[in-house]
Amino acid sequence: MKAKLTVIKIGGEIINNSEKLDSFLSDFSRLDEPKILIHGGGKIATALSAKLGIETRMHEGRRITSKENLDVVTMVYAGLINKNITASLQSRECNAIGLSGADANTILASKRPLKPTDYGFVGDIQSINSKVIDTFIENQMVPIFSAICHDGKGLLLNTNADTIATEIAIAMSAKYDTELIYCFDKKGVLMDVNDEDSVVENINTEGYRNLREQNVIHDGMLPKMENAFHALNNNVSKVMIGNTNFIKNRTEAHTLLTL
Amino acid sequence: MKAKLTVIKIGGEIINNSEKLDSFLSDFSRLDEPKILIHGGGKIATALSAKLGIETRMHEGRRITSKENLDVVTMVYAGLINKNITASLQSRECNAIGLSGADANTILASKRPLKPTDYGFVGDIQSINSKVIDTFIENQMVPIFSAICHDGKGLLLNTNADTIATEIAIAMSAKYDTELIYCFDKKGVLMDVNDEDSVVENINTEGYRNLREQNVIHDGMLPKMENAFHALNNNVSKVMIGNTNFIKNRTEAHTLLTL
């Protein structure tokens, strides 16, 4: 039987709220090992860009990463947020090691093609170095990934944190019975976005198709769901979506995804 | 016989000059392994602070690290500089892993006492986790340390990069025949600071005392020399001071320190 591995991704909403982040890190440190955390960046990068007079350009709701933006997210994600999370976990007896995809060549990405839209310094994941990630785990370290990858040619690339979590979970599934949790500010997928008690507890492939047709799942939730089913189709054992309460207590409401 | 290990510290003058840094990283990548790099921060942090309207306060020539300054150096040292150096080395077939002292609890520091002078979030090194640093080395990784440590209680601390290099070299000497090189913009210790050809090629304990009395060694060079002799007194095999030419070619002029 394979050993269990928990892969958790936390979004900007948690990082923006220091009380919530603190409480999450406390819960995360108490989870059984092995485990891996992937974090996004949140508003800090946007706020820093604004202070520095750097424009944040968007195309169809997606951020364009200029060279100046890349420097800001490298500073904020891989520096400020990653090292503070790591230090905080270390104080909770969790042997965290903060990483970007460049570190020990853990995640190789390629710069997204300029056509049809030039998103700038944005990376699409090429490969996950599961062997080296496992070296950390086997040496009792807990990898904490910021959403910065590299192209192997010296370039850092801004990469979607949900996608990193998904691809890491898939890669680690060869050795581990892997559970993937997308943790954000809602209790799960909601039938009514304004009603926190309308959590859809189970979604399978067919249910997903129906919810999409009913327009219950749209916008930002769509790529998350695509990632989730991509993980399930590639040997990840279990995929869940929930908020921080669910990390503390697994009986709390959440959405469980199955094929 | 112990295996050899090279520990190199590069200062801000090299980091500030992208051409020099590039050329250094190219030379560093070609050095025999195992090896460890420690880097300072240079002017980028000061420039970013200025842009953000954050005051950089000094006391007797030493920087005071406010909470805002700490956030800036964490972003610049552990984020921007550390990850760009790591990605650049990865493109040169050097399996770099960028670290702060918080990562895998590699360097534990304590916040400097408030008396006689409150330097803010500045760390004095308490211990080096040579075992975990060696885990990286044994797994063919090349540790790249930024000068940010942690106190084990969740606090990040700005720490002198020369001191980190010295303490890492000392800690690794138990297992390795360790060579420590402080790499900066001069060819070595100069008899006449305005004459690059006046390198003092050899300095021993007595020579150091004389050079100090003659005021040849003063100001910024004093703590570097104290670090160097501290290393030699604690089992580091060889300590050298030189510029990047010396890293490329060991027959170039440099200062060799001996007891």
- CA nearest B133 in A: which residue? A139
pLDDT digits (tens, 9 = 90+) for A193-238: 899 999 999 999 999 999 999 998 888 789 999 999 999 999 999 9
Which residues in chain B are closer than 8 Å to A86, comparing Cβ atoms? 100, 102-103, 150
Share of chain A above pLDDT 70, in %: 100
| A61 — pLDDT class (breaks 50, 70, 90) | confident
Residue-level pLDDT at B216: 87
**Mean pLDDT score, A71-89:** 98
pLDDT at B56: 81
Of A77, A95, A153, the CB nearest to B91: A153
Tell me which residues of chain B have a pLDDT lower than 50: none
Taking 80 as the threshold, does the pLDDT of residue A42 lie above it? no
Q: What is the pLDDT of residues A123-141, one digit of tens each?
A: 999 999 999 999 999 999 9
Query: What mean pLDDT is predicted for residues A4-21?
Result: 94
pLDDT at A60 over 90: no
- Residue A40's pLDDT band, with cuts at 50, 70 and 90, is confident
Give the pLDDT band of residue A121 (cuts 50, 70, 90): very high
pLDDT digits (tens, 9 = 90+) for B74-119: 999 999 999 999 999 999 999 999 999 999 999 999 999 999 999 9
A108-136: average pLDDT: 96
Test mutation, A52, A103, A105, A133, chain B, max B CBs within 10 A: A103
Say what the pLDDT of residue A174 is: 97
C-alpha pair distances (Å), B9 with each of A8, B25, B182, B228: 36, 12, 5, 12
Q: What per-residue confidence (pLDDT) applies to B157?
A: 98
CB distance B6 to B181 below 8 Å: yes
Complete DSSP assignment for chain B: -PPEEEEEEE-HHHHT-HHHHHHHHHHHHHSPSSEEEEE--THHHHHHHHHTT----EETTEE-B-HHHHHHHIIIIIIIIHHHHHHHHHTTT--EEEE-TTGGG-EEEEEPPSSS---BSBEEEEEE-HHHHHHHHHTT-EEEEESEEE-SSS-EEE--HHHHHHHHHHHHTTTSEEEEEEE-SSSSSBSSTT-TT-B--EE-HHHHHHHHHTTSS-TTHHHHHHHHHHHHTTT--EEEEE-HHHHH-TTS--EEE--
Question: What is the ipTM score, two decimals?
Answer: 0.97
> For the residues A78-84, what does the mean pLDDT come to?
98
pTM above 0.95?
A: yes
CB contact under 8 A, B74 and A79: yes
Q: Which two tokens stand for residue A178?
A: 């892997």
Which pLDDT score is estimated for B120? Answer: 96
What are the chain A neighbours of B104 within 8 Å (beta carbons)? Answer: 95-97, 136, 141
SS3 of A230, please?
helix
In this predicted structure, the answer to whether residue A62 has a pLDDT above a threshold of 90 is: no
pLDDT value of residue B219 = 81
Distance from the Cα of B136 to chain A's closest Cα (Å) equals 9
Instruction: Please give the domain boundaries of chain B with CATH numbers for all domains.
Output: 4-257 (3.40.1160.10)
> Number of residue pairs across A and B with CB atoms under 8 Å?
121
C-alpha span between A178 and A193 (Å, rounded): 29
